[in-house]
Structure formats: C-alpha cells, structure tokens
Amino acid sequence: MLHTTIFVLVNGLMYGLLLFLLSSGLTLIFSMMGVLNFAQVSFYMLGAYLGFQLMVWTNYWVALFLAPLLVGLLGAAVERYLLNKVHMRGQVAELLLTFGLSYLILEAVKLAWGVNAVNYGIPRSLDFPIFSIAGVSYPAYNVFMMAVAVAIFILLYLLLKKTRLGIIIQAALGDRDMVGMLGHNIAQIFTLVFGIGCALAGVAGVVGGNILVTEPGMALSLLPITFVVVVIGGMGSFTGALAASLLIGFLQNYMMTLNVSLAGLAGLSMGAHAPFYELLNQPLSQLAAIMPYLLMILILVFRPQGLMGKVKT
Amino acid sequence: MADRAYTRGLSLPQGLGPGAFFVVSLAAAPWVFNSNAALTVLSLMAVAVVFALSYNILFGQTGLLSFGHAVYYGLGAYFTVHALNYFAVSRIPYPVELTPLLGGVAGLFFGFVLGVISVRRAGLGFAMISFGIGILMGSLALILRHWFGGDGGLAGNPAGGTHLFGLTLTSPLEIYYLMAAWCVVCVALIYFFTNTPLGQMATAVRDNSERVEFMGYSPYQIRVRMHTLAGFFAGVAGGMAAITNGIVAPDALGFVLSGEVIIMAYIGGTTIFFGPVIGAVILSFMQIQLSNYTNAWQLYLGLLFVFIVIYAPDGIAGLLKMHAPAMRYRKLHHLLPAYLLVAVPGGVFLLGLVFLVQMGYALHGAQIFLTQSFTFMGLAFDDHSVWTWVIGAAVTAGAFLGARPGVARARCAWERITVEIKAAQALASRADGDTG
C-alpha cells in the first residue's frame, strides 16, 4: 500500500509538472492576449526537435538555452507577420490561424526530420538514479525537469507581478488603447508575449522531449490534455493551471494502479449483453487515459469557470 | 466578423441556379468519371459535402467553432454498420438504402446529449470543450473494442438485407447514385432550414447573443438545437460513408477528421451556403488524388488554409462572390490585366515553392533509400547540389517579389471599378425612382 502511494505521489508530481510546463505558455498567451494558441504544442514539438538537433551538434546545455530562444523568435515572427493580420477579426480567426499553423509546423518537422522518432536521449551528466524509494529508483533527469517547471512558475509569477513589463502587459490586457496612448508600443509588447509563450513551449520540448518520445505525433498526443488543463484550471489562470496539472497527474497515476472495474466497485455482476457492459467492466487502469476528459465534463457541469477561473467565457 | 450573406439567406430563386447546377453535376458525373475507383471517389465526395454542410450549421450559421464534429459522424457510421449487420440476419424488412437515417438518429441523440453539456459556452470555451469531448469519444472507441471493433474497425455489407426499388448495392454506380440522392436530399433540407425561424435566430445568436437574450430568447437553447441538428446531418454523412466503404474504424471519430471538416468548410467559405460544398470537393480531391503524387499534400493544404484565413476569410466562395457585381456591370475586363500580372509571377512562385518542398522530401527519401533521383515536371535535378537549392530559392523569392506590382495594380483596379459600380448603382436606383 505504501509502495503504491509513493509511486502515485512521485509519478503524479512528475507528470503533473510536465503538464504545467506545457500549459504555462498556453496560459500566458491566453491570459495576456486572449489568443488560444492551437499551435502551442507544435512549438513544443519544434523545441524538442531543435533540442535534439543542437544536442547532436553541440551539447545539451547549449540546446537548453538556444532551442527555446529559436522557438521564441519563430513565435514572435508568427505574431508579427501572421497573427497580427487577423487580430481585428477576433478570437475565432486567431484560433483558426494557429490551427492552420499547427498543420504547417507538423509538415515542416516531417520534411526536416522524417516521419520516424529521432533518437533524442537524456544528457549523460544527468543520466543516473538520484534516489530510490521502496526499491524503485528515480532518474536525476526527472528531478531536473521538475526543478525547471517550478523555476518557470516562479519566474513567470515574478515577471507578471513584480516587473514593470508585467504591469504594462496586465494593463494592456485591461485597456489596450489607453496603454498605447501612454506611449507604450502595444504591438511590440504583444509580439514579445507571444514569443515568450512559444519559448516556454520550447523549454518544455527540450526538457520533456527526451522523457517522452520525439516524433511527429508528439504534438497531437499532448494537445488535448493541455487544453483540458486550461479548461479545468480556469482559462487564463496560472495557479489554476498548476493545480489542474497536479490534479490530473495524481488522479491519472492513481487510476493506473487500480485493477478493479466500475461494475466491480459498485458490486455489480452483469451479463455480457447488458447495456454498457463493456464500459463498466473495463479495468480502471484502462480508463485512466480518458479520466481527464471526464473530469473536464464534470467541471463544466458543476463549475463552468474552472477551478480558479474568474470570468465565464 | 462574418458578412451578412448568410443572415439574409439566399432567397429561393437565387438558390435555384447553384442548386440546379449542383444536381445536374451530381447526376452527370458518372458519365465523365466512370471507372469503379472514380465512382467511389465521387461517392466519398458526396459524403464530404453533407458532412461539411452539417459542420457549417454549427460554425457558419451559429458561430460555434467545433473541434470534435467527427464524433457525430463516426457514431452515425457505427450505428449504421451495426444496423446493417442486424438487418442482414433479422427478419425486420428495413431497407438498407434508408440506414443512413438511423446513423442520423444516432447523431441527433448524441448531438443533443453532448450539446447540452458543451454549448453552455460559445467562442473559445466551446472550441476547447468540443475538442475534449472529441478526444474522449475517440479514445473510448479504441477502449471499447467489442462495440467499435478495435483498430481494424467493423465491417458491414450493404448488399445484404432488404432493398428498395430493386437495388442491390453491389456496383459502385448504384452506391454512387444512392449517395448522390442522399446528398441532394440533405443539401436541400439544410438549405431550406437556413430560412426557418430557428435558422435565422441561430444567425442572430452568432452575431450578437446578448441582444438575442434581451429579446427573450435563450441563446443556449438555440445553440443546443443547432448542435443537435448538426449532429443529425453529421450522423447521416457517417451512415453514407459506412455504406460506401462497407467498413468503419475508430478513426471516423478521431481528431484528424474533425480537423479536416473545419478545413473543408473554411476553405470553401463558411459565410456562403454553397461554400462548404466547394471546400468538400477540393479537400476530397486533394486527399484522394494528390496524395498519390506527393506526401507533402497536407503541407500544401495547410498553406492554402492559412492563406485563406489571412487574406480571404469568406473562402473560395467569397472570392467568387466578390466578383459578381463586377460581372453584372461588365467591369471584369478592367481587372484582367492586373490579374495576369499577378498570375504569371504568382504561378512561378507556386511552382518554385512546390519544387523546393518536393526536393526537400526527395533529399530525405534519398537519405533513407540512397537510390532515388529527384525529378520535377519530367526533368531530373540534383537535389544534393547546393546550386540547385540556391537557384530554386532565388527564382521562388524573385517571383514572389515580382508579383508585388501586379498586386498593387489589382488593388488600384478594384478601387476604380468599385467607384464605377457604385455610380452605376446610384444611377440605376435614380432611374427606378423616376419610373416608379
């Protein structure tokens, strides 16, 4: 029992923090610009591929700084030359543009690196078990990833609440025109925010791409879960995103350890032809993958603004 | 955001022209494309047309951008296949030709149930929720292996069971005409629906839901009804696909298809009734034909989509419609020189782009297989030489810059004829006033 609890806690924390790393950029862009960036995970994928490429050419630490920078520059260029053009037409047009962009990035990645997974490994300096609990040892790299996630949360918090730039960004969200009148270059600020948001996805890519697999399908496989995190946490809330990421991380890992089915929990025994037989007799570990979506539906029914959301969109 | 074309709806005589053209081309298509493979492609196009129009009930008409519309299509397809298999052995004489209706009922049911949950919010909220529900149902389809048939899917034989009008549904031609008939019925129903009070209220909800609320309507209820209806037609489309393919796999509920229907509707034009029809035909064509020639077809599709999102938000139908007044007032020839100035370098630019992309793929293939030589339009190029790349890139970039004067001139020409058309319209209305 203790083993399972520790397993759930440690793995849940790791997965949850990785989810937060992924959704932090999405939340930043959404809360500051009102843009739901469908291509966020595509930038994450690009970060992973660039990280892999730079690691081949140089080493991991160069990749860790350079790849997010490149992804951030690309993101800023996208905002400056594409997204800007549809901003006046509203959020749906912006979402559609980033949706199209996710197609383009996916194809570009396939064109540059092929359709198979690339061999993006963990840096040798971090490739050792750092501690072991109850006979299971945990790699140092995972702890490093968690540290990066926590650092990003703190940095973002400081950036938005304590720096001059953060205050201008928040003011621009409230009244764009007024801040413009005060002499701040709004267009430039939005480009910067979008670039930072994409760079965050790039960091997630470099750090997470070698824990998960770096392949063209990696973006689409994580996209829905990051959206779920944002919906559950409350659209645009950082603490909400962190809470939702951890919640999903723990719940999903907990469910994976359960071998009973819903029917078993309820003490039902049913014939193979009863309605919903298949669904109710599925072991819960099988249903762990769809748990976040069920959670999302529950949240929507009972708390539509999300865990920490302020406004109902 | 969107223009007012949809709000007014096409009046009956206006819709009659495109409608007649649509029916005639559906009926005549098998004379032109008569191989079995081509007939199957045409059947799938008919399916795509219904699917894209069902999507536009949500997006174009009600303003709900859904990222999970394939759920209703896939469930409709699965219910149809289960119905086919059931009626093939049972004694209930339900004709196979009408099974897409059962798919539609399934779509209607799920469209209602999931709509009640998901349309509480419009805009981005709905986009994310529909996406989550789409992934949920798609994953469930893979988990519930018995009912959904696992990765391989479920097969159903449309040739078994009872039939109407002495059909057997064994030849692609028969299946095509059945699909064409369903397609015409659905298109007509969706078209007439846009002019009903509910259809008009949905457009009002899209444009300004707060005002609708002030008028005493519930935007939520209207959205639920529209979502249910869109689910119904998506289910019919799924059922049609199940009969055409004779098999349905969990992909039918998946995100790829949900994304494709957005692209279809948007490329064609969501603000004009027949827009999604154009988009459905283009995407089906690219998917089925172009994919034989290049593995980069999705890149080209993505480029087209992004171009349309930025420069032509009303889609291809919108671009065509834009030229209608110029044609009516016989001003089209003023545009032609400028268009030619754009078309020549623009064409070179597109060719150059395709050349570079294809060469990139060839280089990649060569890295893997070490044998392929790269040919483009029948000519062999050395894709390993830097010079091929430099010259290709230079020509492409040059053509891009070369198109700029043409674009500027086209803009000038547009400004000129817009003024002229306005003057002509003012003159015509004054003449009307005089006689009346």
Q: Is the pLDDT of residue B9 over 80?
A: no
Q: What is the DSSP string of B162-178?
A: B-STT----SHHHHHHH
Residue of A222, A273, A290 to mutate when probing chain B, most B C-beta within 10 A: A290
B238 and B106 within one domain: yes
B273 and B382 within one domain: no
B376 and B291 within one domain: no
Per-residue confidence (pLDDT) for residue B13, from 0 to 100? 52
Task: Kindly determine whether residue B132 and residue A297, on different chains, have CB atoms separated by under 8 Å.
Answer: yes
Q: Is the pLDDT of residue B370 over 50?
A: no
**Alpha carbon of residue A275 to chain centroid:** 37
Per-residue confidence (pLDDT) for residue A50, from 0 to 100? 93
Which pair of tokens denotes residue B401?
A: 């810059």
- Please state, rounded to an integer, the average pLDDT across all residues of chain A: 84
Task: Kindly determine whether residue B302 and residue A100, on different chains, have CB atoms separated by under 8 Å.
Answer: yes
Distance from CA of B354 to the nearest CA of A (A): 13
Give the closest of A104, A278, A294 to B306, CB-based: A104
**pLDDT tens digits, one per residue of A228-241:** 888 888 877 888 88
B287 and B358 within one domain: no
Assigned domain for B63 exists:
yes
* Overall average pLDDT of the B126-135 stretch: 86
Per-residue confidence (pLDDT) for residue A45, from 0 to 100? 93
Q: What are phi and psi of A62, to 5 degrees?
A: -65, -45
Per-residue confidence (pLDDT) for residue A310, from 0 to 100? 64
**Could you tell me which chain B residue has the CA closest to the CA of A38?**
B128
Which pair of tokens denotes residue B162?
A: 């009872």
Region of B12 (left: φ > 0; alpha: ψ -120 to 50; beta: rest) is alpha
Assigned domain for B400 exists:
yes
Domain residue limits at B118? 5-295
Per-residue confidence (pLDDT) for residue B152, from 0 to 100? 80
**Distance, CA of A29 to CA of A193 (rounded, Å):** 7
CA dihedral A82, A84, A88, A89 (to 10 degrees): 20
Assigned domain for B306 exists:
no
Give the closest of B127, B139, B299 to A104, CB-based: B299
Instruction: Report which residue type is found at B367.
Output: Q
Is residue A37 within 8 A of residue A26, CB to CB? The reply is: yes
B93 and B24 within one domain: yes
Per-residue confidence (pLDDT) for residue B5, from 0 to 100? 43
Per-residue confidence (pLDDT) for residue B430, from 0 to 100? 78
Give the closest of B124, B140, B368 to A313, CB-based: B124
Enumerate residues 6+ apart whose C-beta is below 8 A from B435.
none
**Distance, CA of B270 to CA of B62 (rounded, Å):** 11
Which comes out higher in pLDDT, residue A200 or B420? Answer: A200
Assigned domain for B312 exists:
no
Per-residue confidence (pLDDT) for residue B435, from 0 to 100? 56
Assigned domain for B314 exists:
no
Please, which pLDDT band fits residue A180 given cuts at 50, 70 and 90? Answer: confident
Please, which pLDDT band fits residue A312 given cuts at 50, 70 and 90? Answer: very low
Per-residue confidence (pLDDT) for residue A170, from 0 to 100? 79
Region of A29 (left: φ > 0; alpha: ψ -120 to 50; beta: rest) is alpha
Residue of A41, A87, A107 to mutate when probing chain B, most B C-beta within 10 A: A107
B279 and B196 within one domain: yes
- What residues of B are in contact with residue A220 (Cβ under 8 Å)? 255
Q: What is the value of ipTM here, to two decimals?
A: 0.85
Residue of A84, A103, A226, A256 to mutate when probing chain B, most B C-beta within 10 A: A103
Q: Is the pLDDT of residue B76 over 90?
A: yes
B216 and B345 within one domain: no
Instruction: Report which residue type is found at A57.
Output: W
SS3 B375: strand
Is the model's pTM score more than 0.90? Answer: no
Assigned domain for B26 exists:
yes
Specify the number of domains making up chain B.
2
Q: Is the pLDDT of residue B119 over 80?
A: yes
**Distance, CA of B371 to CA of B351 (rounded, Å):** 25
- Start-to-end Cα distance in chain B: 36
B338 and B283 within one domain: no
Please, which pLDDT band fits residue B232 given cuts at 50, 70 and 90? Answer: very high
B358 and B284 within one domain: no
- Please state, rounded to an integer, the average pLDDT across all residues of chain B: 82
- What residues of B are in contact with residue A228 (Cβ under 8 Å)? 132
Please, which pLDDT band fits residue B3 given cuts at 50, 70 and 90? Answer: very low
Assigned domain for B340 exists:
yes
Identify the CATH number of the domain in which residue B70 sits. 1.10.3470
Assigned domain for B210 exists:
yes
Q: Is the pLDDT of residue A275 over 80?
A: no
- What residues of A are in contact with residue B291 (Cβ under 8 Å)? none
- What residues of B are in contact with residue A240 (Cβ under 8 Å)? none
Q: Is the pLDDT of residue A70 over 90?
A: yes
